C-alpha cells in the first residue's frame, strides 16, 4: 500500500501556508519582470571581495572552529564583536545575552517555540511582518491586532488590548517597519515600554533595518529605553540590563542574506531557554557562516559598508518617491520612510491589489499585495513596494508601469483619476 501523505500530516500543517512573497519571488526569478516584491538587498553592493578575504582568514586562523561542530549559542568572537557593534546603537549587553540564529527568521521561530502555547494571543501591528506570523502560526498563536499610523503602532490601542486580553507578548518593528516603512516615534516608544512594564508583558523588538537610516536622528530602541529605566531604578551596582524586551537583528540587510546569520539579545534566562530549543532544531548556526561573518564585519568594515549602503539606498528611495509623485494618479497615497527597504501604498477604496498584481505581472512589474500582512483580514487596497533591490532605471520604468496598471484599474471602476 502506498501512503497518502496528505492524510498523515500533523494538524498544525493546516495553519502553515506557503509564503505568498516567496511564491511571487519564484514568479519573478529569471524573467523580465521588474520586481518591487522581495525584501532583497541590492546584489551590486554585496561585499564579495571582503567575504573572499574573510574566508581566507577564517580558514587560516580559525580553520577547525569554522568547519567543526560548534556551541549552540554561537561563535564567541562574533558575539563579542556584536556587543561592541550594538553599543553604537545604544544597546548595552554582554556576550552571554546574545544568541546567534540562522537568520532572524529562526529567532522568530525559537521565540514561538519557547513562549507560545496553542491559543496564546500575541499583539501585532496591522499591517505586520508576515514571516513572524508564519513562524508563530506553527505554534498555534492567535493575533490581537492594533492599527498603526504615520508614527507607527498606535500605543493607545495597545493599552486597550493589554487591558482586555492576556497576550503572551507584544511584537513591534519600531524602525522603518516591514511592510509599512513607518517609524515608531520616541514618545510612543517610551509609552510602549511603560505599558509593557505595567502589564508585565514582554516585547519582541524586531530590528533588521535600524542601521539603515537615511535621514533624521536615531531613536532609542525599546531595549535601551527599558535598560535606561532599569538603570534609574537600580542600586547603581547591578548592570542595567533590559529584562522585558527581546531584541532581534541580523546581517541580512547590512552584509548579505545568504550567510543566514542573525542574533537575539535578551535576558540570560530567555537566551538559555532559546539555546536549548535551538539544539533540537539545527544544533547551531553554520560555524563557517559565523566565522566568515565575523571576519568580514570586524575592523570597521561593517560600519563603512553600512555608510555606503545608506548612500545607495537613499538615492533609490528618493528615486521611487519622485517617480510615484510624477506618475501615480491622484487618490493614491504612500508613506515616506526615513530608512529601511519599503514604501507602503494605499490605493483608493474598492481597488483590490491582488487583482492588480495579475495585471501588473502581465505588464512586467511586481509588488506584494498588502492584505498578506493583515493577520485578521483587511488591507485589500494596499501594497508594499521595495526600493533596495531594483536599480534607479528599473525604479523609474517599474513605477511608470505600475502607475499605468493602477490608472487602468481606476478607470475600469470609473473612479475619478
Least Å from the CB of residue 170 to its own copies: 12
**Smaller CB distance to its own copies: residue 6 or 232?**
6
**Which is nearest to 117 in space by CA: 192, 12, 199, 16?**
12
Least Å from the CB of residue 158 to its own copies: 17
280 is an interface residue for its own copies by CB under 8 A: yes
283 is an interface residue for its own copies by CB under 8 A: yes
| Binders of its own copies in range 118-137 (CB under 8 A) | 120, 131, 134-135, 137
Concatenated DSSP letters of 124-186: EEES--HHHHHHHHTTT-EEEEEEEETTEE-HHHHHHHHHHS--SEEEE--SS-TTT-----H
* Contact with its own copies (CB under 8 A) among 94, 150, 258, 311: 258
391 is an interface residue for its own copies by CB under 8 A: no
Q: List CB contacts of 308: < 8 A, sequence separation 6 or more.
A: 45
Using the rule CB under 8 A, give the single segment among 183-191, 253-261, 369-377, 407-415 that binds its own copies: 253-261
What single-letter DSSP state applies at residue 6? G
* Contact with its own copies (CB under 8 A) among 92, 98, 100, 115: 115
**Which is nearest to 128 in space by CA: 366, 388, 378?**
378
**Smaller CB distance to its own copies: residue 83 or 245?**
245
Least Å from the CB of residue 305 to its own copies: 13
DSSP-H helix ranges across 217-300: 222-233, 268-282, 287-297
| Binders of its own copies in range 92-111 (CB under 8 A) | 102-103, 105-106, 109
What single-letter DSSP state applies at residue 371? G
End-to-end CA distance of the chain: 62
With beta carbons less than 8 A apart as the criterion, state whether 127 and 179 touch: yes
308 is an interface residue for its own copies by CB under 8 A: no
- The C-alpha cell at 67 is 568547519
> 346: helix, coil or strand?
strand
* Contact with its own copies (CB under 8 A) among 100, 162, 172, 292: 292
**C-alpha span between 281 and 308 (Å, rounded):** 35
Q: How far is CA 244 from CA 115, 203, 216, 283, in A?
A: 13, 6, 27, 26
**Smaller CB distance to its own copies: residue 141 or 361?**
141
**Smaller CB distance to its own copies: residue 85 or 168?**
168
**Smaller CB distance to its own copies: residue 94 or 198?**
198
**Smaller CB distance to its own copies: residue 276 or 411?**
276
| Binders of its own copies in range 8-47 (CB under 8 A) | 8-13, 16-19, 22, 25-26, 38, 40-41, 43, 46
**C-alpha span between 61 and 66 (Å, rounded):** 9
281 is an interface residue for its own copies by CB under 8 A: yes
Q: Is the peptide bond before 166 cis (omega within 30 degrees of 0)?
A: no
**Smaller CB distance to its own copies: residue 273 or 318?**
273
Least Å from the CB of residue 417 to its own copies: 36
Q: How far is CA 294 from CA 117, 337, 385, in A?
A: 35, 30, 32
Length of the chain: 417
* Contact with its own copies (CB under 8 A) among 6, 149, 300, 349: 6
Least Å from the CB of residue 7 to its own copies: 10
Using the rule CB under 8 A, give the single segment among 280-288, 317-325, 374-382, 395-403 that binds its own copies: 280-288
| Binders of its own copies in range 222-241 (CB under 8 A) | 230
**What torsion, rounded to 10 degrees, do the Cα atoms 288, 290, 293, 298 define?**
-120
Least Å from the CB of residue 147 to its own copies: 25
Least Å from the CB of residue 316 to its own copies: 17
Least Å from the CB of residue 255 to its own copies: 8
* Contact with its own copies (CB under 8 A) among 194, 243, 298, 359: 243
Amino acid at each position: 500500500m502506498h501512503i497518502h501523505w496528505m492524510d498523515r500530516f500533523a494538524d498544525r500543517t493546516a495553519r502553515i501556508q506557503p509564503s505568498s512573497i516567496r511564491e511571487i519571488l519564484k514568479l519573478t526569478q529569471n524573467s523580465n519582470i521588474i520586481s518591487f516584491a522581495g525584501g532583497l538587498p541590492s546584489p551590486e553592493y554585496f561585499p564579495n571581495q571582503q567575504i573572499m578575504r574573510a574566508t581566507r582568514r577564517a580558514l587560516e586562523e580559525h580553520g577547525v572552529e569554522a568547519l567543526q561542530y560548534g556551541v549552540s549559542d554561537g561563535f564567541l568572537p562574533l558575539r563579542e564583536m556584536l556587543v561592541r557593534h550594538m553599543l553604537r546603537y545604544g544597546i548595552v549587553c554582554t556576550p552571554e545575552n546574545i544568541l546567534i540564529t540562522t537568520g532572524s527568521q529562526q529567532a522568530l521561530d525559537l521565540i514561538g517555540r519557547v513562549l507560545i502555547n496553542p491559543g496564546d494571543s500575541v499583539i501585532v501591528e496591522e499591517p505586520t511582518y508576515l514571516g513572524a506570523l508564519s513562524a508563530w502560526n506553527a505554534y498555534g498563536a492567535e493575533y490581537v491586532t492594533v492599527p498603526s499610523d504615520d508614527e507607527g503602532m498606535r500605543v493607545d490601542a495597545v493599552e486597550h488590548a493589554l487591558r482586555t486580553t492576556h497576550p503572551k507578548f507584544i511584537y513591534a518593528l519600531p524602525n522603518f517597519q516591514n511592510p509599512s516603512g513607518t517609524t515608531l516615534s520616541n514618545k510612543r516608544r517610551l509609552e510602549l515600554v511603560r505599558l509593557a512594564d505595567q502589564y508585565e508583558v514582554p516585547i519582541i523588538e524586531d530590528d533588521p533595518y535600524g542601521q539603515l537610516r537615511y535621514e533624521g536622528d536615531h531613536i532609542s530602541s525599546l531595549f535601551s529605553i527599558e535598560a535606561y529605566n532599569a538603570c534609574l531604578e537600580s542600586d547603581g551596582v547591578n548592570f542595567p540590563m533590559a529584562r522585558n524586551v527581546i531584541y532581534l537583528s541580523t546581517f541580512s540587510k547590512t552584509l548579505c542574506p545568504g550567510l543566514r546569520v542573525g542574533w537575539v539579545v535578551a535576558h540570560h534566562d530567555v537566551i538559555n531557554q532559546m539555546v536549548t530549543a535551538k539544539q533540537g532544531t539545527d544544533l547551531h548556526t553554520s560555524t563557517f557562516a559565523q566565522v566568515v561573518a565575523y571576519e568580514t564585519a570586524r575592523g570597521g568594515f561593517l560600519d563603512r559598508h553600512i555608510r555606503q549602503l545608506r548612500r545607495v539606498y537613499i538615492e533609490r528611495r528618493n528615486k521611487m518617491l519622485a517617480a510615484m509623485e510624477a506618475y501615480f494618479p491622484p487618490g493614491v497615497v504612500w508613506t515616506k520612510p526615513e530608512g529601511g527597504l519599503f514604501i507602503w501604498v494605499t490605493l483608493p477604496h474598492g481597488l483590490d491589489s491582488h487583482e492588480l498584481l495579475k495585471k501588473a505581472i502581465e505588464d512586467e512589474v511586481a509588488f506584494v499585495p498588502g492584505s498578506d500582512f493583515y493577520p485578521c483580514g483587511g488591507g485589500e487596497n494596499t501594497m508594499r513596494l521595495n526600493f533596495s533591490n531594483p536599480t534607479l532605471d528599473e525604479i523609474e520604468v517599474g513605477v511608470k508601469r505600475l502607475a499605468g496598471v493602477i490608472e487602468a484599474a481606476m478607470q475600469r471602476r470609473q473612479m475619478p483619476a
